[in-house]
Amino acid sequence: MEIINATQEHYSIIKDIAHKTWPDTFGQILSKDQIDYMLSMMYSIEAMKNQITELNHKYFLIAEKGIFLVICHTKSITNPR
């Protein structure tokens, strides 16, 4: 198992994982419209670019045998916006 500090080359992988997992994870508590809004707000390529470059957020991917399994999104400790 490998933990990868995500970079710009991983944005599309992160977006894909989020779009595949959010409906099952949050579908019972959020409407489809709310999920779509949040995915766009947090996991669009532009949103991730801004979060990483401007807000100092971090994304990590967990991979096994070259297959990406999980994403982890952390906010900056020094920039809590």
SS3 assignment for 45-71 = HHHHHHHHHCCCCEEEEEEECCEEEEE
The model's confidence at residue 78, banded by pLDDT at 50, 70 and 90, is low
Q: What would the mean pLDDT of 69-73 be, rounded to a whole number?
A: 78
Is residue 36 within 8 A of residue 23, CB to CB? The reply is: no
Q: What is the pLDDT of residue 25?
A: 94
Is residue 80 included in any domain, yes or no? no
Is residue 22 included in any domain, yes or no? yes
Is residue 26 included in any domain, yes or no? yes
Is residue 81 included in any domain, yes or no? no
- CATH number assigned to the domain comprising residue 29: 3.40.630.30
Say how far apart CA 24 and CA 81 lie, in whole Å.
28
Is residue 36 included in any domain, yes or no? yes
* pLDDT 10s digits, 15-57: 999 999 999 999 999 999 999 999 999 999 999 999 988 888 8
Write the DSSP symbol of residue 5.
Answer: E
Q: Is the pLDDT of residue 9 over 70?
A: yes
Domain containing residue 13? 2-74
Q: What is the pTM of this model?
A: 0.81
**Structural domain total, the chain:** 1
For Cα atoms 4, 6, 77, give the angle at the middle one, nearest 5 degrees: 100
Is residue 32 included in any domain, yes or no? yes
